[in-house]
Amino acid sequence: MSEAASSAPPPTLDQQVRAQLKKWPQRPPGVVSSPKQPGTWLRGRPGDLAATNQPFLKLPGSNRLRTLPDGLWLHFSPDPADPYVDILCIEACSSLQNLLDKRSRFSPTTSSLMAYCPLDWLLGPAQAPNPTPRWRLIRILKAEPSQPLTLPVRDIRVVFGLKNRHYEGFARSQVAQAHEFYCPMEALIAEDGHEDPDMRALISRASATANFMWLP
């Protein structure tokens, strides 16, 4: 082993989480197609290291304050007459203060959250080595786009990953908001964690269908 390699710092917790989230499929694990979400799921974050221009969340009219989740999955409406996205976010929280900060970004407000999809992300391939560009999978787009796509967010679900001691304390003493879901950090950094039945069950409960006894 070279001296440079041996002296390289170990990956941070965020880096470990993102490395595993990159292995998750385009449709979040455990989420099945349903009448409530009949459109297309795509993973927005994390992307390839070379792809610096990835989707992010913003408030209308703001070009400075952005939310960049560790993981971001977008469900695009299939109807061009009613464009929107549903989002599933994954956030790794290394401390309780970090959790409080990230929770505040997704708290219900009277203003609309927007999802911004850069043009080069839309034109790029959804899943290598398949060269099909993402925009062709988004049914609200009928022609190759020439500008970024900004859509209102219809539904938000967030999975927070906490260190074990924080997770256990939070699970014992706190109540999650309706859009919040929690898991131990180890579940996010586990190899092939998206295939874990418990993780798939959690993400399934974080879908838009989970609030209904049955769907018409």
* Residue 145 structural domain: 9-205
Does pTM top 0.95 for this prediction? no
Instruction: Give start and end residues of each alpha helix (H) in the chain.
Output: 3-6, 13-21, 96-105, 119-123, 164-173, 185-189, 197-205
> Residue 188: inside a domain, yes or no?
yes
> Residue 1: inside a domain, yes or no?
no
- CA gap 3, 86 in Å, rounded: 47
Question: What phi and psi, each to the nearest 5 degrees, are found at residue 119?
Answer: -60, -45
> Residue 56: inside a domain, yes or no?
yes
Strands 180-184 and 149-162: parallel
> Residue 212: inside a domain, yes or no?
no
Residue 179 structure tokens: 């859009």
Per-residue confidence in pLDDT tens, the chain, 216 aa: 455 555 678 888 888 999 999 999 999 999 988 899 999 999 999 987 666 689 999 998 887 788 999 999 999 999 999 999 999 999 999 999 999 999 998 987 757 899 999 999 999 998 878 899 999 999 999 999 999 999 999 999 999 999 999 999 999 999 999 999 999 999 999 999 999 999 999 999 998 888 898 888
> Residue 4: inside a domain, yes or no?
no
Question: For the stretch 110-138, what's the b/e string if a residue is b when 16 or more beta carbons lie within 10 angstroms of its beta carbon?
Answer: eeebbbbbbeebbebebeeeeeebbbebb
> Residue 41: inside a domain, yes or no?
yes
Question: What phi and psi, each to the nearest 5 degrees, are found at residue 73?
Answer: -115, 140
> Residue 43: inside a domain, yes or no?
yes
Q: For the chain, what is the domain count?
A: 1
> Residue 17: inside a domain, yes or no?
yes
